[in-house]
Amino acid sequence: MRVPWWTRSGAWMIGILLGLSACTADQGASGGTSGTTSPSRDPAASAATPAPAPGAEIGRVLVYSRTGGFRHQSIADARDAFELLAEEHGFTVDLTEDQGVFTRTGLQPYRVVVFLHTTGHVLDPPGQAALRGWLAEGNGWVGIHGAADGDKDWDWYIGLVGARFTAHPAIQRATIRVEDRGHPSTAILPEAWTRTDEWYNFDRDPRGKVHVLATLDEHTFEGGEMGDDHPIAWCQPYGGGRSFYTALGHTEASWTEPLFLDHVLGGLRWAAGAAGDCRPG
């Protein structure tokens, strides 16, 4: 029996359409240019939680720069530097000189509190009590340079810092000897770090009560009064929390110095809970 021509054409057209359909399906499965979503744009993959930005573990930081004594000219530079560090390393920073923040509720959002050049009397008794209670909850305190010249009649605070500032010579170059290369604040520093700053002398050698991270080599500058053991940066567990202090950072130039900023950033990280051996000794 002879098949009419339109029947043969219809079968032929159906075959073509089926072939095109199969080709389209193959292209979709192999990530081709059809409307099918390719594996590289899988919505499930796009929705995956991104890795935290470096520094995000620091959380939220309060930088307190109230002064009741000498006011360092570098405070403005330091505040700018903390904001830049926060932006670059994914944490949040709040800047204040208002001691009214130091309440149980006011300190609750912060993982780390920084005392930046806080000379003289900077906290009233309720603020002092709030700081002690906040630290006892396992939080971290960071003291920068002039923090060792604050609230000298408050014994708990002197213990928090580790020592009291007594005097300093003129600003000059000196060499810092890094003792602990495993701590976040000193891991990136050279073993012998020569730089310009204002070099503090203290009323005591804190070694034995704190973990010394770096010392000053008194053979490399004039005006040192502590002899062969002159700690300049240290850390310790204290009052149920963590305490990190560095005597560096007097000059405005310090706050644009990459190694110094890495030193400060590492101190923030440790205070926020990063690993680092700060057992006294």
> Could you report the per-residue pLDDT of 76-104, keeping only the tens digit for each?
999 999 999 999 999 999 999 999 999 99
pLDDT beyond 70 at 43: no
Give the span between the Cα atoms of 200 and 88, in whole angstroms.
Answer: 30
Residue 12's Cβ-side half-sphere holds a number of Cα atoms within 13 Å equal to 7
pLDDT of res. 281: 81
Supply the mean pLDDT for the chain: 85
Say if residues 196 and 253 touch (Cβ distance below 8 Å).
yes
CA–CA gap between residue 109 and residue 59 (Å, rounded): 9
- Whether residue 120 contacts residue 149, with contact meaning beta carbons closer than 8 Å, is answered with yes
pLDDT score for 32: 39
Residue extents of the structural domains in the chain: 56-271
Residue 204 has what pLDDT?
Answer: 96
Q: Tell me how crowded residue 39 is: count the other CB atoms within 10 A of its CB.
A: 9
User: Is the predicted pLDDT of residue 121 greater than 60, yes or no?
Assistant: yes
CA distance 14 to 96: 77
| Pairing mode, strands 211-216 and 140-144 | unpaired
Residue range 56-271 in CATH 3.40.50.880: yes
pLDDT on residue 27: 40
Please report, for residues 28, 44, 46, the alpha-carbon distance to residue 34 in angstroms, rounded to integers and kept in the order given. Answer: 6, 20, 20
What pLDDT does residue 233 have? 98
- The pLDDT value given to residue 128: 98
Separation between Cα atoms, residue 202 and residue 23, nearest integer Å: 81
CA angle 262, 163, 130 (to 5 degrees): 80
Q: What is the pLDDT of residue 76?
A: 98
Using pLDDT thresholds of 50, 70 and 90, give the confidence band for residue 57: confident
Angle at which helices 75-89 and 258-271 cross, to 10°: 70
Non-local (6+) Cβ contacts of 74 within 8 A are 117, 249, 250, 251, 252, 254, 255
